[in-house]
Amino acid sequence: MSELTGQIAVVTGASRGIGRAIAEALVAKGAFVVGTATSEQGASAISDYLGSAGKGLCLNVTGEGAIDEFIAQVQNDHGAIDILVNNAGITRDNLLMRMKDDEWNDVINTNLTAVFKLCKAVMRGMMKKRNGRIVNIGSVVGTTGNPGQANYCAAKAGLIGFTKSLAQEIASRGVTVNAVSPGFIDTDMTRSLTEDQKQRIFDTIPAARLGKPEEIAAAVAFLVSPGAAYVTGETIHVNGGMNMA
């Protein structure tokens, strides 16, 4: 009997990278995982790798009413949601001087506003159960800042304040809200960096390597486990020592 057996988990942005590693880690602990992707193709890829332990669904988190519809569908098909991992995120990097309103809005809407909506949509079910786990995936740059990423850093820093506020609101109902802030992890998002950018980043990481998606998933798996019931409003930094809060 695994510790998450019988629990329903939602992981956004689960088709690849960190989201996929999280989905696989939760399945390994016995949860049924609904993973989301922005395309039908991504959703079916999730269904393929999860097999009978989960399902991939298409969700565009910025679509009007899309989140409420999605949560209602999951609850209808699989039951009340026990675990929500807000992992979906995008970057639209640009120097502030050149940053378009769209580049700002897209990042804030996907990385921050969607988290608000998803949390709100699962709240009633978790409060009624007197049990629930929410994990928001932040980023080291939400703490340190990063030139060219004012939009992304603002969203990720905002996520931490959001996490702490919601944690205080609902701690008395047995629902915990935490964040995991990855450093530089080996995913498609960091693979798009230039060699020069990577070298400069390596120089700032005491562990002298990129992190693995599984190393983020391990922190998430801890936070959703029964043993973490008394941890809330916390941010776990997983960054090879790159930034020590």
Partner 1 sequence: MSTIEERVKKIIIEQLGVKEEEVKPEASFENDLGADSLDTVELVMALEEEFETEIPDEEAEKIRTVQAAIDYVTAHSEE
Q: Report the catalytic residues.
A: 152
Does residue 127 bind partner 1 (CB under 8 A)? yes
Contact flag: residue 120 with partner 1 (CB under 8 A) = no
CB of 126 to partner 1, least distance (A): 12
Query: Does residue number 218 form part of the binding site for partner 1 (CB under 8 A)?
Result: no
**Whose Cβ is closer to partner 1: residue 128's or residue 209's?**
128
Q: How far is CA 240 from the centre of its chain?
A: 19
The residue from 128, 191, 200, 209 that contacts partner 1 (CB under 8 A) is 128
- DSSP one-letter string for 105-125: HHHHIIIIIHHHHHHHHHHHH
213 vs 62: CA distance, rounded Å? 25
Backbone angles phi, psi at 84, to 5 degrees: -125, 120
Interface with partner 1: number of residues (CB under 8 A): 7
Q: Tell me how crowded residue 30 is: count the other CB atoms within 10 A of its CB.
A: 14
Task: Work out which of 52, 76, 172, 194 binds partner 1, going by CB under 8 A.
Answer: 172
Among positions 8, 170, 185, 205, the unique one binding partner 1 when judged by CB under 8 A: 170
Contact (CB, 8 A) for 97 and 25: no
**Contact of 81 with 8, CB cutoff 8 Å:** yes
User: Where on the chain is the footprint of partner 1 (CB under 8 A)?
Assistant: 124, 127-128, 169-170, 172-173
